[in-house]
Amino acid sequence: MPSRPMIGYAHVTKSFGALKAVDDVSLHIAEGEFVAVVGGSGSGKTTLLRLANRLIEADGGTITVEGDDVQSVDPVALRRRIGYVFQSGGLFPHLSVADNIGITPKLLGVPAADIATRVDELLELVQLDRAAHRERLPDALSGGQRQRVGVARALAARPRIVLMDEPFGALDPLTRDALGDDFRELHRKLGLTTVMITHDMTEAILLADRIAVMRGGKLLAQGTPVELSKSSDAYVLELLRTPRRQVERLNALLLQSGAA
Amino acid sequence: MSLFTDPRWGEALGHLPDYLGNHVRVSLAALALGLIVSLPLAILTRNRPTPRAVLLALASIVQTVPGLALLALFYPLLLLAASVALAWFGVSFSAFGFLPAMLALALYSMLPVLRNGITGLNGIDPALIEAAKGVGMTARQSLVMVELPLALPVMMAGIRTAAVWVIGTATLSTPIGQTSLGNYIFAGLQTQNWVFVLFGCFASALLALAVDQLLGLIESGLRRRSRVRTALGAAGIAALVAATLVPTMGRSSQSYVVGAKTFAEQYVLSALMRDRLQAVGLSAVARSGLGSSVIFEALKAGDIDLYVDYSGTLWANQLHRTDIKPRAELLAELQTTLAKENITLLGELGFENAYALVIPKKRAEALGIRTIADLAAHASTLSIAGDYEFFSRPEWAALQKAYGLSFRAQRQMQPDFMYAAVASGEVDVIAGYTSDGLIAKYDLVALDDPRHAIPPYDAILLLAPKRAGDERLRAALKPLLGKIDIATMREANLRAAGNDANSSPDAVAKWLWEKVGGR
């Protein structure tokens, strides 16, 4: 276990009416870690993520971010120091790419000239051509480009933590692969602490250091893929087997057609 | 004379700075007030379904009240408010003209602004509001930076609808004393001056289109984040307002305001009085088309300085009397009663404009009808038409009582159309006016009233309390007193009912002045 958690959940619960979306979850994410939270729809993984920056308020338990109990921090200030990448971008359609990226620094009162420089840096970082994209509106971008802008926006205020809500889910496989790899590289280069939500175990294994599996609001297991494979939980094992089985079937099919 | 060379176009154009200026001012002030009230309400209730539903229901109810009625309702309401303000706080304001018109129109503008505002704000993708929160916006920042800009096209559509409605409805504010492009329309309808009617309609339509386009320019500027477009649109509206302020600045506030009700005789008489005042070097304007309940209150409050009313009308409507006295006694009592309110009854003009039951002369001869008593025997087989107020007036009740009148059917009609209707046989009897020139034109006859059920209606000149001791004014009006007999007034009214250049109130007033001894 790492020394000081960047994000700590301790016995956290959250209900929506009768539904227990998050049920007594404890999870610690260390500085520099890349954690993927995997689960099906309704597993509570998105709720768990949003509790960290108080887009959703917990009913019980304690959540800490960089050592601070989130309840003791102003939620707006908290959100400004945590990067958040939304499903399919969440870009503001009436703002240009540059204005979307620069929004959090602007809210923090950074001078316009500094924001402009930062936007150029970020466009380079997420590998978008500055001249071609800076003044465009989000509608004029492809899905992959939009998500790159989403990542740039999340990084604009130099957060140490980035939360990602199924960031690559809606993209075509090639774009998805490229973007995943690029982000993993950014995570390493910038020394980020990243929590990513996904329903795709393959993606989780390829990108994350550690994987947390959620089902019905409960945290079933957490650890490296190797550690998870030693889990006694049938669902966790089933999830882990899926990528491998897919690869085997794929290989078999490809070999067959090659032999033919 | 062709339509395009008609000199009345020129006359209409002469009124344009005044009418258009007032129209723009009252419309834009109403729109601004409507926005100031509605937009915050739309924002406050966007996430609260119950208050939102209540608010929209209230705004919808307001919208179902016809514009004319809404405007008319605001006058007594403000009159009450003004008297309360004066009694409690010693503050006086005028319940006449601008204020009631602006408030009623502002209320009228609220529905489209509210509905589109709420629809626009509620129609935003919730994921974007979540994203606004996620990037660290406060609720206020989210509203200003994300929600309002995204709702802008829908909201602006509502504002543009409101602008067009308000500019159109403002034409109906003439009867409560607000000068507007409606002055053309009301005057034109009353004096059969179709040039004025057309001019008023075109002018208000053009104004509505222009303001709509300017708002459209502002909208596209805001949406495309083009400062040039936004500034152009805003500058256009500012220029419109500025342009309308120019003509009023020159005008002295010491002007005498001559009031006129909504029919041709009144238009002619007010023009005549205005000309008399101007002839002795006083500055004077005519404020025409005032509702008959508005005009007396306006005089009392000093919003107008003088006008012509009719003794029987004041007797019934202001003194609330139902008994009938001989002419001289009635006038004397009226004079002393009005004096208690500091209103000066300066004198009679010399003619009477009474209600009278009127039928075609040939028909009267055929049926052997000379008086209302004769008519009563045939009434059960005949139909009667009157103006919009006649059948609810005490005269009608008195007539029914005195002669036992019971008609087969009764209808209400625009006064100017009644005479043609009875001449053509569409109705059998009308409640006309004795001074109306159309009686002679259509060969009609006013039946005698042997039982004196209808009170005398002498035309009398009234002065506002603040003009009670104004000797120059009295001297200027003196040549008119007792000089206009019924035959002269009928001929003047007939001229005013014509549809040519000589039939404008100004032209008829000049003719009348020459006729009664001026020159």
Decide if B127 and A80 are in contact by the 8 Å CB cutoff: no
From A177's Cα to the closest Cα of chain B, the distance in A is: 25
Strands A60-65 and A68-69, sheet pairing: antiparallel
Residue B260 shares a structural domain with residue B121: no
In a domain, B434, yes or no: yes
pLDDT 10s digits, A164-207: 999 887 788 888 888 888 899 999 999 999 999 998 898 899 89
From A76's Cα to the closest Cα of chain B, the distance in A is: 5
In a domain, B2, yes or no: no
pLDDT of residue A45: 93
- DSSP H/E element including B280: none
Residue B343 shares a structural domain with residue B476: yes
Contacts of B116 (CB under 8 A, 6+ apart): B154, B155, B157, B158, B159, B161
Cβ neighbours of B135 in A, within 8 Å? 79-80, 84, 103-104, 107, 153
Residue B328 shares a structural domain with residue B409: no
- Sequence-ordered strand ranges (E) for chain A: 5-16, 19-30, 34-38, 60-65, 68-69, 82-85, 161-165, 193-198, 210-215, 218-223
In a domain, B411, yes or no: yes
Residue B234 shares a structural domain with residue B310: no
pLDDT of residue B469: 86
CATH number at residue B346: 3.40.190.10
From A94's Cα to the closest Cα of chain B, the distance in A is: 7
In a domain, B318, yes or no: yes
Residue B165 shares a structural domain with residue B299: no
Decide if A86 and B127 are in contact by the 8 Å CB cutoff: yes
Return the CATH class of domain A1-81+161-234: alpha beta
Q: How confident is the model at residue A260 (pLDDT cuts 50, 70, 90)?
A: very low
Residue B237 shares a structural domain with residue B270: no
Residue B96 shares a structural domain with residue B238: yes
Q: How confident is the model at residue B454 (pLDDT cuts 50, 70, 90)?
A: confident
Strands A82-85 and A68-69, sheet pairing: unpaired
Q: Which ipTM did the prediction report? A: 0.89
Decide if B136 and A92 are in contact by the 8 Å CB cutoff: no
Q: In the numeric block, which tokens belong to residue A253?
A: 């099919």
Q: In the numeric block, which tokens belong to residue B418?
A: 């009644």
Cβ neighbours of B155 in A, within 8 Å? none
pLDDT 10s digits, B124-167: 999 999 999 999 999 999 999 999 999 988 999 999 999 999 99
Which residue segment(s) compose the domain that B305 sits in? 256-353+457-515
User: Around Cβ A151, how many Cβ atoms within 10 Å?
Assistant: 25
Q: How many CB pairs under 8 A join A and B?
A: 51
Decide if A76 and B134 are in contact by the 8 Å CB cutoff: no
User: Around Cβ A195, how many Cβ atoms within 10 Å?
Assistant: 25
Residue B210 shares a structural domain with residue B77: yes
Side by side, which strands form the sheet with B344-352?
A: B284-287, B256-259, B306-310, B458-463, B344-352
Residue A46 sits at the chain B interface (C-beta within 8 Å): no
DSSP letter at B143 equals I
In a domain, B452, yes or no: no
Cβ neighbours of A76 in B, within 8 Å? 136-138
DSSP letter at B383 equals E
Whether B252 has a pLDDT exceeding 60, the answer reads: no
Whether A2 has a pLDDT exceeding 50, the answer reads: no
Residue B149 shares a structural domain with residue B280: no
DSSP letter at B326 equals -
- End residue of a domain, out of B446, B475, B492: B446
CATH number at residue B33: 1.10.3720.10
In a domain, B1, yes or no: no
- DSSP H/E element including B349: strand B344-352
pLDDT of residue A1: 45
Q: In the numeric block, which tokens belong to residue A248?
A: 């085997």
Decide if A84 and B150 are in contact by the 8 Å CB cutoff: no
Q: How confident is the model at residue B246 (pLDDT cuts 50, 70, 90)?
A: low
Residue B201 shares a structural domain with residue B96: yes
Residue A258 sits at the chain B interface (C-beta within 8 Å): no
Residue A104 sits at the chain B interface (C-beta within 8 Å): yes
Q: In the numeric block, which tokens belong to residue A200?
A: 């795709």
Residue B112 shares a structural domain with residue B229: yes
pLDDT 10s digits, B456-514: 899 999 999 989 888 999 999 998 999 899 889 999 988 887 777 778 888 899 999 99
Residue B377 shares a structural domain with residue B413: yes
Average pLDDT, chain B: 87
pLDDT of residue A259: 52
Is the C-alpha dihedral spanning B266, B267, B271, B274 positive or negative? positive
Strands B409-412 and B383-386, sheet pairing: parallel
CATH number at residue B403: 3.40.190.120
- Distance from C-alpha of B12 to C-alpha of B285, rounded to nearest angstrom: 15
Q: In total, how many domains does chain B have?
A: 3
Tokens 């949003």 -> residue:
A50
- Distance from C-alpha of B68 to C-alpha of B182, rounded to nearest angstrom: 11
Among B127, B128, B135, whose Cβ lies nearest the Cβ of A103? B135
